[in-house]
């Protein structure tokens, strides 16, 4: 991984000019205003925008694609204008003022102080205007709030300022400024009566808008003494684009436990390929308020291939740039050639996963193995990332590199001339700025990452141009516009679900796996460990480096999966359901050690989710009934077998265990220390389907199952579950070269039940 890949996001300069407004009727509602945007140096054509007061009469808990598109325009108008260049910032708000007041005919425009000053690492630009509209209850005031989302220079640093607790500090500090600005706007304009608030932002400003909307839903503007009345449940409209995660997941869960629909009026438009939406990491306990409306992806849409074609047509029309391919689909997994001592990067044709899946794996590996938790991040990496990004916008990074190059050239010249000064030249800037230390820290992180995950590092470096390309505001707009009849004659129909199913099949024998859709067409195939390319199909079929066959299926489709073998074989299959709202797998159906007959094979029927489950999500798993057959005989899943065959039974001091009714030898027996049961964790965790990694350097254990990560350091009375610190009543230790961990804590945090029988000192784990 090289330094150039560290700068993952460079926002384009968007310039907006409003054209005269027209009024006309279209579709089911009255389109009250229409106009055109022109963007300097970016767009060849002037795309149309549409405004309707009906947008703000509809249920704010139902996604409105037309309002999303209008919100995209507002968010992009809130980029800094190019007026004044990098010297005069007094008119940087001019684009958003022009759009709100000239194009949409809002009035009483205001901007905060930061929108007219050179950005700092702690600033945020915000603007607002109001418009009087009417609904069934009479007049109300619509307040439009736009948060600066582009060309904000040093504000980039706040993306990496996480802090050790609560919301991501950089985003949270900016949220407070926006909330203060909204309150000031209402006071300065003496707003009275009923109000509705429309708020939006892109990228960094989307994270800030998301937190601001969450605070509004929590009632920060609700006051009986105010001259205005605001009920966010039906009067807040929040649309946030490519939103990083700045909210605290535990705080959201606690609030939703009281009111499950509290944040349902907040919409995050997400491209699952966009790595920016992984900042800050879910593995560290971060989340987004509200609902994620995801763009189509090969994991989530059975019609992805045709949908991409429609989107690219809109993108070409929008930008004037011919787009023959979606860059995310040009992504290819790579690996380090084990037969090449120089570490040559080569293709990994068997592990054909989509870029969105790689982004998930890359982010998770970085977060769980190196960032670990927020305290560790702040202590080791936060200052380094902040220093690096400050240096980009201050120009010090370029001067540093120039000095380094000059140093190398001077050294080479001195060596060639036989000078005694060879090697004594140094860049004076690097020692005074702290930039060298920051670069060393990040380079060491990259080096350590590449050592542990060489294939992930090689893949990121080789595909960086594709990975970074998806954080593109025009790409976001093209997906939205491809779903609207205002911009295409054949709009994409997609629910916005980010959910999918992953089927994993393992066997010591060669298997032939095929998947047919509801029309009987083969859409995925793996033959003896090698995926087969299926023309016009985007369904993922891959084999990882551990020999696991992986099929990923959208939730809207019905599929039939066939497992065959040239000889009778034994296989294992796991089907996991991923829920975008929960940001993790929420249901697991497993079939262990079932027989695959040579003559007939096995067949698994995978139904589609119900319409409500597709639309609303499945935080508790779907109601889909999965069926595995050998011939006409049904094979029971592990979940449906009787309890004795789905349990782990251990006895203190005994070097064997009963696992699913079978006796299995243990390499070390459970022990009791200070009235706490401790056991060597690897075999038990792996039996529960968890992965276990040992880090010799820091004497730590990392346990992962689904979206759960547990990290413990030997000798410490604490652990980190998804980045959140939790106290242990017994510290882990090493005995006879085996690492012992507290049984109950591990099992329960892996969602397994534990029963202790004191009379015979047995432990029963229901996995």
pLDDT, position 398: 53
Integer Cα distance of 183 and 204 in angstroms: 22
Where is pLDDT greater, at 448 or 423? Answer: 448
Integer Cα distance of 400 and 404 in angstroms: 6
Instruction: Band the pLDDT of 339: cuts 50, 70, 90.
Output: confident
Compute the 3-state secondary structure of the chain and give helix, strand, coil in percent, each to the nearest 5. 35, 30, 40
> Residue 17: is its pLDDT beyond 50?
no
Integer Cα distance of 170 and 181 in angstroms: 17
The mean pLDDT value for 111-125 works out to: 95
Whether the link from the prior residue into 746 is cis, omega within 30° of 0, is: no
With beta carbons less than 8 A apart as the criterion, state whether 671 and 653 touch.
Answer: yes
> Residue 206: is its pLDDT beyond 60?
yes
E strand residue ranges, 405-472: none
Average pLDDT, the chain: 86
pLDDT, position 42: 53
Buried-exposed string 551-570: b where 16+ CB fall within 10 A, e elsewhere: bbbbbbbbbebebbbeeebe
pLDDT digits (tens, 9 = 90+) for 280-296: 999 899 999 999 999 99
Instruction: Band the pLDDT of 428: cuts 50, 70, 90.
Output: very low
> Residue 302: is its pLDDT beyond 70?
yes
Q: How many CB atoms lie within 10 A of CB 190?
A: 9
> Residue 397: is its pLDDT beyond 80?
no
**Which token pair is 748?**
């329960």
Out of 300-309, 312-321, 472-481, 598-607, which region has the weakest mean confidence (pLDDT)?
312-321
> Residue 9: is its pLDDT beyond 50?
no
DSSP 3-state assignment of 708? Answer: strand
pLDDT, position 631: 85
Question: DSSP for 134-202?
Answer: EETTEEEEEEEEEE--SS-GGGGGGGG---SSSS-HHHHHHHHHHHHHHHHHHHHTT--EEEEEEEEEE
What is the chain's alpha carbon radius of gyration, rounded to the nearest angstrom? Answer: 28
Out of 351-365, 555-569, 677-691, which region has the weakest mean confidence (pLDDT)?
677-691
- Strands, sheet with 33-38, edge to edge from the N-terminal-most edge strand: 17-18, 33-38, 48-51
> Residue 45: is its pLDDT beyond 70?
no
E strand residue ranges, 636-690: 647-651, 656-659, 662-665, 671-673, 676-680
pLDDT, position 661: 65
Percent of the chain having pLDDT more than 90?
Answer: 61
Integer Cα distance of 550 and 353 in angstroms: 9
pLDDT, position 255: 94
> Residue 382: is its pLDDT beyond 90?
yes
The mean pLDDT value for 550-568 works out to: 97
pLDDT, position 410: 47
Instruction: Band the pLDDT of 18: cuts 50, 70, 90.
Output: very low
Place of tokens 């540093």: 400
The mean pLDDT value for 439-448 works out to: 92
Listed in sequence order, the DSSP H helices in 463-553 are 464-469, 473-481
Integer Cα distance of 459 and 363 in angstroms: 13
Instruction: Band the pLDDT of 602: cuts 50, 70, 90.
Output: very high
Integer Cα distance of 648 and 663 in angstroms: 10
Out of 81-95, 561-575, 648-662, which region has the weakest mean confidence (pLDDT)?
648-662
Residue 439 CA, chain-centre distance (Å), reads: 26
The mean pLDDT value for 418-429 works out to: 36
Where is pLDDT greater, at 754 or 163? Answer: 163
> Residue 250: is its pLDDT beyond 60?
yes
Percent of the chain having pLDDT more than 70?
Answer: 87
Integer Cα distance of 741 and 755 in angstroms: 17
> Residue 391: is its pLDDT beyond 70?
yes
With beta carbons less than 8 A apart as the criterion, state whether 244 and 211 touch.
Answer: no
Place of tokens 């859709």: 517
**Which token pair is 547?**
């020999």
Question: DSSP for 278-341?
Answer: GSSPGGGTEE-SSEEEEPP-TTT-TTHHHHHHHHHHHHHHHHS---SS-GGGG---EEE-TT-T
Residue 446 CA, chain-centre distance (Å), reads: 21
Instruction: Band the pLDDT of 479: cuts 50, 70, 90.
Output: very high
With beta carbons less than 8 A apart as the criterion, state whether 208 and 171 touch.
Answer: yes
The CA-atom distances, in angstroms, between 458 and each of 180, 462, 672 are: 45, 6, 45
pLDDT, position 34: 85
User: In this structure, what are the phi and psi dihedrals at residue 724, rounded to the nearest 5 degrees?
Assistant: -90, 125
Q: How many CB atoms lie within 10 A of CB 462?
A: 17
Q: Is 605 exposed, middle or buried (0-12, 13-18, 19+ CB in 10 A)?
A: middle
pLDDT, position 396: 54
**What DSSP element (H or E) covers 126?**
strand 126-135
- Left if phi > 0, otherwise alpha if psi is -120 to 50, otherwise beta: which for 761? left
Integer Cα distance of 640 and 77 in angstroms: 55
Q: How many CB atoms lie within 10 A of CB 53?
A: 16
**Which token pair is 346?**
């080569």
Integer Cα distance of 517 and 523 in angstroms: 7
Buried-exposed string 164-180: b where 16+ CB fall within 10 A, e elsewhere: eeebbbbbbbbbebbbe
């Amino acid at each position: 991984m090289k330094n150039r890949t560290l700068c993952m996001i460079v926002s384009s300069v968007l310039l907006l000019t409003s054209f005269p407004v027209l009024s006309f009727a279209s579709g089911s509602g009255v389109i009250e205003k229409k106009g055109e945007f022109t963007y300097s140096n970016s767009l060849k054509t002037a795309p149309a925008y549409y405004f309707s007061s009906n947008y703000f009469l509809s249920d704010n808990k139902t996604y409105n694609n037309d309002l999303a598109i209008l919100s995209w325009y507002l968010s992009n108008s809130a980029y800094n204008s190019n007026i004044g260049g990098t010297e005069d910032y007094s008119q940087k708000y001019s684009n958003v003022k022009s759009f709100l007041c000239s194009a949409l005919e809002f009035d009483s425009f205001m901007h905060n102080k930061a929108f007219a000053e050179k950005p700092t690492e702690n600033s945020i630009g915000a603007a607002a205007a109001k418009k009087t509209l009417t609904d069934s209850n009479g007049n109300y005031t619509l307040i439009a709030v736009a948060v600066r989302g582009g060309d904000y220079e040093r504000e980039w640093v706040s993306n990496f300022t996480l802090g050790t607790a609560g919301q991501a500090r950089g985003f949270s500090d900016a949220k407070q400024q926006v909330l203060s600005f909204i309150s000031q706007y209402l006071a300065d304009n003496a707003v009275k009566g009923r109000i509705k608030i429309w708020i939006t932002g892109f990228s960094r400003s989307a994270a800030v808008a998301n937190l601001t909307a969450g605070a509004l839903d929590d009632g920060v503007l609700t006051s009986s003494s105010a001259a205005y009345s605001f009920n966010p449940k039906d009067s807040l409209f929040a649309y946030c684009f490519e939103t990083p995660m700045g909210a605290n997941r535990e705080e959201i869960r606690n609030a939703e436990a009281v009111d499950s629909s509290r944040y349902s009026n907040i919409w995050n438009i997400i491209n699952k390929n966009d790595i920016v939406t992984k900042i800050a990491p879910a593995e560290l306990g971060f989340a987004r308020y509200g609902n994620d409306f995801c763009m189509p992806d090969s994991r989530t849409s059975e019609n992805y291939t045709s949908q991409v074609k429609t989107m690219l047509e809109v993108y070409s029309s929008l930008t004037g740039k011919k787009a023959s391919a979606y860059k995310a689909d040009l992504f290819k997994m790579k690996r380090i050639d084990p037969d090449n001592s120089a570490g040559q990067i080569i293709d990994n044709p068997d592990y054909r996963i989509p870029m969105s899946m790689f982004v998930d794996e890359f982010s998770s590996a970085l977060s769980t193995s190196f960032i670990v938790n927020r305290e560790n991040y702040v202590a080791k990496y936060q200052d380094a990332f902040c220093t690096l990004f400050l240096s980009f916008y201050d120009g010090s990074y370029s001067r540093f590199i120039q000095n380094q190059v000059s140093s190398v050239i001077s050294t080479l010249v001195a060596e060639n001339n036989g000078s005694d000064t060879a090697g004594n030249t140094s860049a004076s800037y690097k020692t005074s700025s702290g930039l060298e230390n920051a670069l060393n820290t990040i380079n060491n992180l990259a080096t350590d990452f590449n050592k542990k995950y060489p294939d992930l590092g090689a893949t990121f470096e080789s595909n960086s141009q594709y990975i970074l390309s998806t954080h593109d505001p025009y790409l976001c707009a093209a997906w939205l516009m491809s779903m609207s009849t205002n911009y295409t004659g054949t709009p994409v129909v997609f629910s916005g679900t980010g959910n999918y199913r992953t089927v994993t099949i393992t066997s010591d024998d060669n298997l032939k796996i095929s998947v047919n859709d509801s029309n009987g067409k083969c859409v995925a195939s793996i033959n003896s460990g090698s995926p087969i390319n299926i023309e016009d199909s985007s369904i993922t079929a891959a084999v990882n480096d551990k020999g696991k066959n992986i099929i990923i299926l959208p939730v809207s489709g019905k599929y039939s999966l066939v497992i065959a073998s040239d000889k009778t074989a034994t296989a294992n299959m796991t089907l996991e359901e991923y829920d975008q709202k929960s940001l993790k797998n929420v249901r697991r159906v497993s079939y262990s050690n079932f027989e695959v007959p040579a003559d007939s094979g096995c067949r698994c029927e995978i139904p589609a989710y119900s319409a409500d489950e597709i639309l609303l999500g499945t935080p508790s798993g779907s109601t889909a009934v999965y069926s595995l057959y050998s011939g006409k005989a049904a094979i029971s899943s592990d979940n449906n077998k009787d309890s004795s065959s789905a349990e782990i039974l251990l006895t203190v001091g005994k070097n064997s265990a009963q696992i699913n009714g079978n006796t299995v030898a243990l390499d070390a027996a459970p022990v009791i220390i200070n009235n706490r049961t401790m056991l060597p964790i690897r075999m038990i965790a792996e039996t529960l389907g968890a992965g276990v990694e040992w880090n010799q350097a820091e004497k730590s254990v990392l346990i992962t199952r689904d979206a759960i990560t547990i990290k413990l350091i030997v000798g410490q009375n604490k652990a980190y579950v998804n980045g959140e610190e939790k106290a242990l009543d017994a510290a882990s230790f090493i005995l006879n070269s085996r690492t012992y961990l507290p049984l109950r804590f591990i099992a329960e945090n892996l969602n397994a039940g534990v029963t202790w029988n004191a009379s015979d000192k047995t432990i029963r784990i229901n996995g």
